[in-house]
Chains A and B, each alone.
Chain A
Amino acid sequence: MTARRIVYTLVFLAVAVPLLLGIRARVKPSPPVKAAYEAIEALPESSLVLIGIDFGPSTMPEMNPMYEALLEHLFRRNLRVAVLSLQSALDLPNGIQVLEKVARRFGKRYGVDYANLGYKPGLEAVIVSLGQEIRDIFPEDAQGHPLDSLPMFRGVHNYNDIALVIDLASGGTYGSWIQFAQARFGVKLLVGVTAVMGPETYPYLQSRQLVGMLAGLKGAAEYETLIQRPGLASRGMPAQAVVHLLIILFILYGNWGFWKQWRR
């Protein structure tokens, strides 16, 4: 067995064994995740929250847990939820499945407590238009119901009537929300991003352009801890920790090998 195959086998075991043992982890919430939780806690009951589902199947293992945890919190607080996608229509089927699953758990009704606005191409143009009149860009929801026929949109016209925007992004859409919704209209914006995007998102927290941030599986696990409902992320974190430990050992072993070679 070559060294490469030994590494692959050990990484597989490091993931599979903690999952099979069913260990769950409670992680300490970091300040950006705590800020996200507190931003939702501070919203008045029945406020409207707009969620951008801008992640596809390739990042589902990271993004779904945070989406589910956020929905759980939003419905628990009796907030109204409208979802849309500005990246790809393919992002919506999974997003709707999760939304309906969580909504059913809380006995929420379509059109009253939650709605699906669907996909609209033209990212920046759509974000700017939402600042004027939502009906200009979404005259009807994804199922073809006129927006005026849905009780949850009564009196909702633009960002002034939306308490919080959450963008769950695996790409650059969150940047457009910052540039065109937050900077131009002063929208309260919270983002959930993949771990890869985490470091590039931090500067927006420091500049207070974001009210909170969840990054990757760890961000989702921290949020699950805050809402006291361990789920998919908390189940994945022990495997994550074991693999990280293994990688650190590999790096140390590799460096030790180089050091030995260098001494010779």
Chain B
Amino acid sequence: MATVIGIWIAAFLTLAIFSFLYGDNPVYKAVEHLYIGVSAAFWFLYLWSFTVYPNLVVGIRQHGWLGKDLLLIPTVLGLLMLFRLVPRYGWWSRYPMAFAIGLGAGLAITGVLQGLLFPQLQATILNPLTSVNNFLLVLGVLTSLLYFYFSREHTGVMGWIARIGIYFIMVAFGATFGYTVMARVSLLIGRVGFLLSDWLHLM
């Protein structure tokens, strides 16, 4: 019975959101507000249940504040972050922010160099004359990079190179657009499939 009620609620909410396609209306507005309210409450509980409670509360109970994970430090940093809500002491939150940005930058720099820049660079160092694919790959990378080189005016030979680069970039945009359309249509197929199958049992 609970499943049937759940399916009917989901079907009603789906149709209420789709009703925006006909025009803005009170049912759509109500469901939109419901979605935002439920999401906010859900995320609050979620962060408590899956991040703060298991990692901090349980950790302190098991190992104490100064145990193996030194939980005192993240607790203090976390509390300092909340001072953003108090204008007079808002600057205290800059310390945990600085910590988070420093940590993020450190991880990102090593990760991007080791896992993105060098392997991608290496993959571009190949003989462009052995196949059409190799030729297009090297040509596309070099001309696209030169398109973003703004220290010299894009005229003459440089202009031609930049123009070839923009064609490659346009092809990439086209592929991305095509894939995006496919993704959005897939989501619509999922919703229509739900309405026809789970709700109306027509499939």
Contact = CB atoms under 8 A, between A and B. Distances in A.
A15 B182 contact: no
Nearest to A64: B190
State which size class the interface on A falls in. 35 or more
Contact of A61 (B55, B123, B193): B193
Interface stretch (B109-117, B144-152, B154-162): B109-117
A73 interface: no
Contacts of B115: 175, 178-180, 182-184, 209
Contacts of B189: 15, 19, 61, 217, 236, 239-240
B119 A199 contact: no
A257 interface: no
| Interface of A, helix, strand, loop or mixed by DSSP | helix
A172 B196 CA distance: 33
Contact of A180 (B22, B111, B187): B111
A20 B190 contact: no
B179 interface: yes
A58 B45 CA distance: 20
Given A121-B50, A203-B123, A243 B185 contact: yes
A90 interface: yes
| Interface of B, helix, strand, loop or mixed by DSSP | helix
Interface in B174-194: 175-176, 179-183, 185-193
A207 B119 CA distance: 6
Contact of B183 (A60, A183, A194): A194
A12 B119 CA distance: 44
A16 B119 contact: no
A62 B186 contact: yes
A235 B194 CA distance: 13
Contacts of A121: 50-51, 55
B187 A62 contact: yes
Contacts of A89: 46, 49-50
Interface string A206-227: 1111000001111000000000
Interface in A50-64: 58-62
Contacts of A16: 192, 196
Interface in B4-58: 21-22, 46, 49-51, 55
Interface string A6-17: 001001100110
A3 interface: no
A247 interface: yes
A100 interface: no
Given A19-B196, A199-B175, A209-B119, 7 more contacts: A121-B50, A175-B116, A178-B116, A179-B116, A196-B176, A217-B186, A235-B193
6 contacts: A8-B21, A207-B119, A208-B123, A209-B115, A215-B179, A240-B185
